[in-house]
Amino acid sequence: MIIKIKYILLLIMATILIVSCSKDQLDTESLICEEPVVYDDVRGVISASCGYTECHNGLGSLDNYNNFAGIETYLFSGAFSSRVFISRDMPPSYAAGATSLSEEEINLLKCWEQNGFSEF
């Protein structure tokens, strides 16, 4: 009897794992970027949503996202993508500036990511 319960629980857990992994794949939309996107193309979005007063403007304790050198470490470490595309909590809801990115802005940033976060 105990073996049957263990087997059923194992089967349920495996099913949940398979369904959750396949759901991730189904939710992933492939974005086709027609033109290469470089830092100058996204600078306005970043300045309005990240590099405003008291945030990533270089005047406080946080790095300056208003230039490529200030944001570069976060781009290539995965921190930027994680916060913007996965958690979608940047800019944060308590931000003094913009509090959310439009789908158009997110798509522009995704195209930039697909272009390897190119500076030029």
Q: Give 71-107 pLDDT, tens digit per residue.
A: 999 999 999 999 899 988 887 777 776 668 899 999 9
Burial letters for 58-67: b for 16+ Cβ neighbours within 10 Å, e otherwise? Answer: eeeeebebbe
In three-state secondary structure terms, 79 is helix
In three-state secondary structure terms, 80 is helix
pLDDT at 24 over 50: no
Residue-level pLDDT at 29? 57
Q: Name the phi and psi angles at 73, rounded to 5.
A: -60, -40
Tokens 């802005």 identify what position? Answer: 105
Tokens linked to 63? 């790095």
Higher pLDDT, 10 or 45: 45
Q: Is the pTM of this model over 0.85?
A: no
In the chain, what are the domain boundaries?
1-30, 39-114
The mean pLDDT of the chain is 81
